[in-house]
Protein backbone atom coordinates (compact mmCIF):
# COMPACT_ATOMS: atom_id res chain seq x y z
CA UNK A 1 0.00 0.00 0.00
CA UNK A 2 2.83 2.39 0.87
CA UNK A 3 4.42 1.82 -2.55
CA UNK A 4 1.20 2.88 -4.23
CA UNK A 5 1.08 6.13 -2.27
CA UNK A 6 4.75 6.78 -3.06
CA UNK A 7 4.08 6.20 -6.76
CA UNK A 8 1.14 8.61 -6.67
CA UNK A 9 3.27 11.21 -4.91
CA UNK A 10 6.04 10.87 -7.51
CA UNK A 11 3.54 11.31 -10.34
CA UNK A 12 2.12 14.41 -8.65
CA UNK A 13 5.61 15.91 -8.34
CA UNK A 14 6.31 15.17 -12.00
CA UNK A 15 3.02 16.74 -13.10
CA UNK A 16 3.48 19.89 -11.03
CA UNK A 17 7.13 20.15 -12.06
CA UNK A 18 6.21 19.85 -15.73
CA UNK A 19 3.62 22.61 -15.35
CA UNK A 20 6.13 24.85 -13.56
CA UNK A 21 8.86 24.31 -16.18
CA UNK A 22 6.46 24.86 -19.09
CA UNK A 23 5.06 28.01 -17.47
CA UNK A 24 8.59 29.35 -16.92
CA UNK A 25 9.61 28.62 -20.51
CA UNK A 26 6.41 30.20 -21.84
CA UNK A 27 7.00 33.32 -19.74
CA UNK A 28 10.52 33.52 -21.17
CA UNK A 29 9.21 33.11 -24.73
CA UNK A 30 11.04 29.78 -25.15
CA UNK A 31 8.12 27.59 -26.12
CA UNK A 32 10.05 25.65 -28.77
CA UNK A 33 12.65 24.30 -26.33
CA UNK A 34 13.24 20.54 -26.54
CA UNK A 35 12.56 19.35 -22.99
CA UNK A 36 14.73 16.23 -23.38
CA UNK A 37 17.71 18.37 -24.40
CA UNK A 38 17.01 20.82 -21.59
CA UNK A 39 16.95 18.03 -19.00
CA UNK A 40 20.22 16.60 -20.33
CA UNK A 41 21.84 20.04 -20.37
CA UNK A 42 20.86 20.52 -16.73
CA UNK A 43 22.35 17.14 -15.77
CA UNK A 44 19.25 14.93 -15.62
CA UNK A 45 18.85 11.56 -17.33
CA UNK A 46 15.17 12.08 -18.19
CA UNK A 47 12.63 14.87 -18.28
CA UNK A 48 10.73 13.10 -15.49
CA UNK A 49 13.83 13.38 -13.27
CA UNK A 50 13.92 17.13 -13.94
CA UNK A 51 10.19 17.58 -13.41
CA UNK A 52 10.27 15.55 -10.19
CA UNK A 53 12.92 17.70 -8.50
CA UNK A 54 11.27 20.90 -9.70
CA UNK A 55 7.92 19.63 -8.38
CA UNK A 56 9.50 18.91 -5.00
CA UNK A 57 11.03 22.41 -5.12
CA UNK A 58 14.55 20.98 -4.86
CA UNK A 59 15.72 22.69 -8.08
CA UNK A 60 15.60 26.37 -8.90
CA UNK A 61 13.55 27.39 -11.91
CA UNK A 62 16.06 30.19 -12.46
CA UNK A 63 18.39 27.55 -13.89
CA UNK A 64 15.71 26.68 -16.44
CA UNK A 65 15.47 30.28 -17.62
pLDDT tens-digit profile of 32-60?
A: 889 999 999 999 999 999 999 999 999 98
> Looking at the 3D structure of the chain, how many domains does it have?
1
The mean pLDDT of 1-29, rounded to a whole number, is: 91
Task: Give the pLDDT mean for 2-26.
Answer: 92
Asked if 13 and 57 count as a contact pair (C-beta separation under 8 A), the reply is no
Mean pLDDT of 26-31: 90
Q: What span, in angstroms and rounded, lies between the C-alpha atoms of 2 and 26?
A: 36
Its domain, for residue 24, covers 2-63
Amino acid sequence: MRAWFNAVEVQEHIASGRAMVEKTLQREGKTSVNLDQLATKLGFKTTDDLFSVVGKEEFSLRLVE
